[in-house]
Every structure is written in C-alpha cells, then in structure tokens.
Structure 1
C-alpha cells in the first residue's frame, strides 16, 4: 500500500468545514493530537488568505495572552490552533460576537482535548460554537477515494451489495492495515520507526497532555491503565476487572478512564436501543481511537497476527473490530444528517457490534467477523434486532475477511471488510454506463 504524506491527503472533514463555516459563527475542530487538525486548519486559512495563530508554540502563546482581544479581532475568520492552551480567547471571541453579531465564519479553532472536558470558562461560546471531530485518516482518504458505503446502504442496500461481488484483499493485507492505523505521521513509516512514533506519542500523551489537563499523582498508573484498556479494545467495559491489581479505587479508575477519553486515546461506544428489549444491557463498549495505536500498546506485530494461534486469532479479532468500527464512525461523521451510534447487546450475550440510527428512526447494523466464512449463527443477534425494529431495520451487514459479497437472507448481507473503502456510487454509475 503506497501511503501519501499527510499534506497530500485530502480530508473529507475539510469539505464539511467549508460548508459549516457558511452557517456557524465559530467552529471547533477536536480530535487526537497529530491527527491532522492543524493541516486542515491551514488549508482552510490559506483558502481565505488569513494566518493561523498557533497556540502550541510557547512564543506565540506568550504574545497572544496579554493581547487576546487584538488577536481575535485581527482577521475574519480568525484561525487558532490548539486553543485549549489559552482559553481566554473564547471570552474575547464572545465579546467580538456580541459587538458584531454572531456572523457565520467568524472563527475556526482546533483543540486536542474534548471540549466538554475543559474548564467551565471554555463554555463561553455555548450556542454559538459547533464542534466537529477529526478522526485518524480513513482507508479511503489514504487511497484517494471517496468512501460511501454507509450512505449507499441507507439509500439502496441490495444495489450496494451487488456493486463489488468479489474482493482480492488478503488476510495479510488486512493485518497490515490494522497494525498501521491511520495517524498521518505514523502510517508512512516502516514498522520499527512507526513503533517508535507510537511510543513517543504515548509518552507525550501521558507526560504532557494528561498532566496539563488534570493533576496527576500517578502517571505510571495512567500509563498502565491505558495498556490494560488497549488489551480490552472492542470489549464491554468492566473497569473493576480491568483495574483490579492497579491499586486504585473505582472512582479513580473512572476518572483516569475519562481523562484518556478526553485526550481522544480511547472512545466509549454507548449502549444503544435499551428500550427495545427489557434485557438489553446499558454497559458501553470501549475502543482505542486507532487500531495501530492499540496494536502497539498490545505489543503485537503483523507476523504474530498472521498466525492461526488461538491467542493471535483473538487479538486480531478485537483489533479488526476496532479498525472497522473506526472506519464506520468516520463515515457516519461525514453524513449530512446527525446520527446516533452505539452497540446493541442483551444480557443473553446477543450482540451487534455497531448500530447507526438516522433521524427518521431507520437503522443500519454491523457485525465484524475475523474469519473468511460467516455462518448462519453469526446473524442471530441481527435477526433479533430486525424482528424488534420491523420496517425500521434497513440492513444488517456482517463484515468478513472472505472474498464474496452476497445477501444471506432478508436485509442481512455479507461483505468483505475492504468494501468499506471501495466506492459504491461511482462503481454503479460505471456499470450503468457500460
């Protein structure tokens, strides 16, 4: 897989940013450190002929803090990178909006911390601030194609399944994609250099970013917790079990897990559809933000994951699920409409890995299988969900590492994992023209 440099990769979120800037007074781009937020912001700023105020630079920060009103009044739009380092800019932006009116496109900010995790002073722009999340690079962005599987399944599931009947992607290729992940600065490196990058990223996240956000007395415990959570990626959260020998109480374990979420290192996938069945669980699942980061924390290599050893099969299954859920989450975030996402699991252990619910109540459901073949029993949970939802159930997809795309039964389909980044609409158009 040829990987372009980060600056060469067009980001889907850039299109959304251009669109939202026509309506929203202030937009905040949030996401993990080194995910490409600064690049997206610079592209946006360059297209409008304005500079970027980089608050990650101590010298720039020292110049801005005594002159914050001047800094936010200097241009339209005002573009500020890593605004969490000087939250005073939010009060200054509020004052500007009060004077000028809440004009669309007044400011675009980036931050490496979840907005709702910042101090109360960060809420100054409530009602005027639209928050967008930038995730690691998608496989389609890396390949220079426009993924549209989620939107195509919503519009025409049967046609979508027929779009690409076969796949040529091997298990070894899936392993390499999973281990590489999607961080721009990591993915174009050779394996050893990529591992060093991930190690440095983890060090900086714990030693600098976490320490800036919270008063940490036990940094090693936070580091150990991150490793434990990585080993349990794609599993239902059980902090008591995860932290049983870390020497911390339940409250501290929850606080530290929230801190890792605030830094976009882990992502909590909420339980969905609790009202559908009395026995549906309310416990969330946890995923690492990036499968490559998870693989490094787990100390697994492509060579290990490629074997059919029982432990390797389990590890690959969890990492593949985190990889696929990450790709689906990205596609869901690019849709024109807001959607609810989650997982559905009953106390009888029937589970659907990922559910997308649209504004009209219609639902797509997804299961991830690391095997080449999908058995009828693998659809047990989706059958129950289809029965519970009736006509609201649009389609259920079981992803596999196999080669064939086909419909298994009514509204239940099997697709190779690589269908996530093989464009559907353009392929159907080509077939129609042919």
Structure 2
C-alpha cells in the first residue's frame, strides 16, 4: 500500500522548508517513521545496534549525511539531540533534520532544551478523519473562528462501526489485521512496553505483573478523573504485598514520557469568570484499543454494556471508550490548528464539559461527547451554561455523537457525528 497522508503532513509542508530541525514525537507504532521518510534523503535508524554504537561514539557524524536526514528513534542515543542543536547553530537553513522519537527528551540526558533550534510536533494514532471511513464536513479550525458555520452532512457509520474502530486501534500497522492477529499484536505491543521500552528508557521493572495490572486499572479509569490512589487500589486489590506508590508514580512518569499515557489536562482559563475548577487530569491511554484490550471486553460485551469501571464511575464502558476515541481525534485536529485541549469540571461536579479546545487567540470550542445518536436538552445544558458564562469568547459549542446526521440545534449547539468532524 502507498503512503496515506496524515494531518501532520500539512504542518510539515508549512514548516520543514523553513526550519532546520523538527522532532516528531509520539508512541511507537503511530506512523512517525513512515511520515518522516516521505521528506528525507537519508535515514539513520538508531534502533539498529551497530549504527547506534557508531553514532553514540561520534554524534556529530550526522552532519556528514546528505540532507534532509531522518534520525529515527533518536532518544536511544540522547547526545544526538545536542549534535543536531550544534549543527543548526552552524547552519540554520531549512529542511536539514527530522527526528522521530517514541520518548520525550529526558532533560537529564541532554545539554540543550532545543528551544529555538528544534521544533517538536506531536503525532498520535490515526484520527477518525485519517482512517478514511467518511469525508468530514465540519472543520474544528473553522469552529474556532467563532463564525458559527452552517453544519450539515451525513455519515453511514453506526454504533457498531464505532465499536469496531475502538477495537481496531489507530496504530496503522495493527488496525487492518484480522482479529486474531490484531489481538496478538496488541498483546505484543503492551508486553514490549513493559519488557523493552521502559528498560530502554532506563527504568528497571522489577514486578512486570504489577505494572501490567496498574496499566489495566488505568485503562479501566479511561475518561475519568479517578485518583491515582483509587487506580492503585484497583490494581492491587488481590495482592497481599502491594507495589509502593512511589514505584508506580515513577512508572507513570515514564509511561507519560513514552506517550503511552495521554491524559487530558484540566483547563485552567485566564481572564474569565470561571472559579473553583478541578485541576485533575482526565485519564486516557494513547489509543482506546489498548484500554479495551487490557480490560478484556470484546465487541459483543461492549454493545451489551459489559465492562467494569474504576471507582464507581457512571456511564458505560463503551461510552468511556468512545469518549477516548473522540478525544484522540479532536487532539489531532487541535494540534493542526495550534490549539490546546483540556477538560472542564467544577469542584462540586455540578458542571462538566468533556473537551475544551482553546485557540491561540483564547477563543474556545466546548465539546461534549455522547454515545447516543439523539440529543436532548439535558445533554446540552452544560454547553449552554458555558455560553452564558463566557459570552463572545465561546466560539462554538458542540456535541459529538454516534448519529448519522450533522446539524445545528435552535439553541446554537452543533451536533456532529464523530466521523464528520475533521481538522
């Protein structure tokens, strides 16, 4: 199969001709290498032992290669980061280096942050728009303008189709496999995180089963703000000798650096009348397929309402996974619009909005995510409250659904099937 263009390609089209070095960062398997390889003359794959050793001995030899140069898995030879910085200091002409990394840069292993020399772009698994199942009719970037555009279009995708997409994964190398092979690959992916990726990042995993249990508990907390204490309790409920909180906190930090955990931070708005907002992240793994696989509920069970959630969270497990799928896609589109994504919850839990997309001009698109195909007045009450509270700063208010038709309600809320929302 030929290369399928990704949302990040638009950013690379605009930036790489003018910037000397760009780091594409994301979890293993999201497609960083395939995307970067479209734009380079030379590929240096540092996951290859012999090349890794020679580059480690002399990182500055990267400048002897014909540009543009892709340095793949650069974090395995951390001094490469500073070698690129030195090269850019000498020559800042565009299109010299692309760095693909499946771990964020460890400040302890480099001399320079990269600021002003190396621009970082995040890359996540395939969004719904990138999966090619439908042609989006609504642009998140246009919603952020505040023009309240007309909303229309229809999608043939049903709840069953969205469930398939949750389980199929957004990892390009996994999603098109037959079910048994896909399940085996997801098993292998999770095992590699524990057995290889964390040790490569310098983390000694003394109790692999305890870490896997913690990951499963974290997955069961998808789309909640459950405390880490509750997640730890769920992970160790049957253990007489529990892993320490400090140990699991260290694992959590490194799993975030490896882009396996991808929580949505609490929105902390400036210059607005909102008060007493919670500061807890909303939990998400990088791909909802990982959460579904860890919890072990298949399509039939999901559609029948099966799946235990951590700490008595309300709503169905399928609803939590659909929210995670939608959040993953919205964050891809927000990155393309150079916008930030958070979530809103008041301390008393009286008000909650699943996603807040904030543009560079502080305009806001508020998004609720509903598994239902039809929307009632109860579903939009928090969106309309925020509209009354923020006034003109609220560019648009949206409910993402599993329905077939996109439209705008009389109260101004845009109702958009997930498959019809795009960058």
TM-score, reference length from structure 1: 0.87
* Contiguous gaps of at least 5 residues in structure 2: 237-241, 310-314
> Hey, what does 1:85 align to over in structure 2?
76
Q: Which moved more, 1:317-326 or 1:183-192?
A: 183-192
> Hey, what does 2:403 align to over in structure 1?
402
Cα distance between partner residues in 2 of 1:389 and 1:52? 49
Post-superposition offset of 1:236? 0.8
> Hey, what does 2:5 align to over in structure 1?
10
The SS at the match of 1:266 is coil
The SS at the match of 1:108 is strand
2:85 is aligned with 1:104: no
2:256 is aligned with 1:267: no
Cα distance between partner residues in 1 of 2:308 and 2:197? 33
The SS at the match of 2:304 is coil
Post-superposition offset of 1:317? 0.4
Q: Which moved more, 1:70-79 or 1:295-304?
A: 70-79
| Shift in alpha-carbon separation, 1:404–1:74, aligned structure 2, 3 A | closer
Q: How does 1:166-205 map to 2 (within 5 A)?
A: 166-205=154-193
Post-superposition offset of 1:292? 1.4
* Contiguous gaps of at least 5 residues in structure 1: 424-434
Cα distance between partner residues in 2 of 1:159 and 1:400? 18
Post-superposition offset of 1:389? 0.8
Cα distance between partner residues in 2 of 1:264 and 1:351? 26
Is the CA contact 2:148–2:395 (under 8 Å) kept in the aligned structure 1?
Answer: no
Cα distance between partner residues in 2 of 1:410 and 1:145? 27
> Residues 372-423 of structure 1, C-alpha deviation per residue, up to 9 Å, x if partnerless?
22221122221221122111111111122233333334332222222225x9
> Hey, what does 2:325 align to over in structure 1?
323
> Hey, what does 2:124 align to over in structure 1?
135
Cα distance between partner residues in 1 of 2:377 and 2:289? 31
| Shift in alpha-carbon separation, 1:274–1:96, aligned structure 2, 3 A | closer
Which of residues 274, 280, 283 in structure 1 aligns to 2:280?
A: 283
Cα distance between partner residues in 1 of 2:109 and 2:221? 32
Cα distance between partner residues in 1 of 2:382 and 2:85? 49
Cα distance between partner residues in 2 of 1:141 and 1:167? 15
Cα distance between partner residues in 1 of 2:112 and 2:381? 45
Q: How does 1:209-224 map to 2 (within 5 A)?
A: 209-216=197-204, 217-224=206-213
Cα distance between partner residues in 2 of 1:243 and 1:43? 43
2:59 is aligned with 1:62: no
TM-score, reference length from structure 2: 0.89
Cα distance between partner residues in 2 of 1:123 and 1:296? 39
Cα distance between partner residues in 2 of 1:225 and 1:157? 44
Instruction: Report which of the two has the higher share of helix.
Output: 1
Is the CA contact 1:181–1:187 (under 8 Å) kept in the aligned structure 2?
Answer: yes
In angstroms, what is the RMSD of aligned CA positions? 2.3
Which of residues 84, 95, 99 in structure 1 aligns to 2:86?
A: 95
Q: Which moved more, 1:146-155 or 1:206-215?
A: 146-155
Cα distance between partner residues in 1 of 2:203 and 2:277? 37
Is the CA contact 1:366–1:398 (under 8 Å) kept in the aligned structure 2?
Answer: yes
Q: Which moved more, 1:353-362 or 1:254-263?
A: 254-263
Post-superposition offset of 1:284? 1.1
> Hey, what does 1:300 align to over in structure 2?
297
Q: How does 1:413-432 map to 2 (within 5 A)?
A: 413-420=414-421
Which of residues 103, 111, 118 in structure 2 aligns to 1:113?
A: 103
